[in-house]
Every structure is written in C-alpha cells, then in structure tokens.
Amino acid sequence: MEKIAVEICVGTSCHLYGALDLAQVLEEVNMKYPERLEIISRTCLGNCDKGPNVRLAGKLLERITPEELRNIIIQLVQKKEKENE
C-alpha cells in the first residue's frame, strides 16, 4: 500500500498554535496503522496566520484540531485499505 504523505508545520507560529498536539496525534495514528503514513516535519507551510497547519495527501489543512486530524487520517487510511482489497 502506498504511504499517505503527512507534512506537519513545526515552525514558530504553528508551534504556538498547537502543532505539538498534532504531532502527538500523528504518533498515535502511526502506531495504530504502521507503515501507512509518511510523516514529514516542515518549518513552514506558508500559512502562518492560520495555524496549526498540516498538508495531508497534498491538501493544506489549516486551523486543524487534533481530533479533526485524527478522524481525517483514519478515514483516509481506511478508504485506501478498501481500495486495495
């Protein structure tokens, strides 16, 4: 199965907006679905005033909460698994 690219901004603004909470969610989801995610830390995704920011499978998600991120990633992983059956 192809890995899902998840880029998380860990720059100053996103860090202050809660990027560490998002990183924790990514760790948890990655443990639940090993080998499904490619997690990449970025110092900036160019959307500092709307952080925290994550680019998931090429789509920029702004002001995302940890719960929203968890739900979106799990749905995407499950969809990809279904497509590969």
pLDDT digits (tens, 9 = 90+) for 33-76: 988 999 999 999 999 999 999 999 999 999 999 999 999 999 99
Within 10 angstroms of residue 33's Cβ, the number of other Cβ atoms is 17
Q: pLDDT value at position 25?
A: 97
Q: Which amino acid is at 41?
A: S
Which helix (H) or strand (E) segment is 57 a member of?
none
**Rounded CA separation 85/68 (Å):** 26
Contact 6, 40 (CB under 8 A): yes
**Helix, strand or coil, per DSSP, at residue 8:** strand
Q: How many domains does one find in the chain?
A: 1
pLDDT digits (tens, 9 = 90+) for 2-20: 899 999 999 999 999 999 9
